Amino acid sequence: MALGSAARTWMLLMGLTLLSWLLHDMVGASAVVYALIVLTTVKVYLIEWGFMEVGRSEPGLRRFYLVWPGVIGSFFAGAAWLVASV
């Protein structure tokens, strides 16, 4: 059976979490910040693929769901930049 996009995203999340955990001593805090950005972005896409069936049936929310990964991605990029700069 072919893997669904949610399953592939989940496997990517598992791999990234494992790498962050195994390598954090070696690569330092800045790499953890990058891991944070990637992990949260991938996670956001897992949500996007997940369960928007009801929400998408509503015109206002459908427009929101079209732009929200970008909005949330920008939010996390900003947060990660903040983390790195503090």
Partner 1 sequence: MNDRFGAERVTPLRSEAAFAAKGIWIFVALDMAIFGLFFFVFLLEKRADPALFAQSQSHLNSHFGFANTLLLMTSSWLLVESLRCFPARAGAARHLLAASATLGGVFVISKLVEYHLKFSAGITIAQNTFFAFYFLLTFIHFCHVVAGLIALIFIYRGMGRSEHYDVKPFAESTGIYWHMVDLLWVFLFLLLYLM
Q: Which residues bind partner 1 (CB under 8 A)?
A: 4, 6-7, 9-10, 13-14, 17-18, 20-21, 24, 29, 32-33, 35-36, 39-40, 43-44, 46-47, 49-55, 57-58, 60-61, 64, 79, 82-83, 86
Sign, Cα dihedral of 29, 33, 36, 42: negative
Q: Quick check: 71 and 38 in contact, CB under 8 A?
A: no
How far apart are CB 67 and partner 1 at their closest, in Å?
12
Q: Quick check: 41 and 76 in contact, CB under 8 A?
A: yes
How far apart are CB 15 and partner 1 at their closest, in Å?
11
Residue 26 neighbours by CB distance under 10 Å: 7
Residue number, 18 or 66, with CB nearest to partner 1: 18
How far apart are CB 40 and partner 1 at their closest, in Å?
6
Q: Quick check: 42 and 9 in contact, CB under 8 A?
A: yes
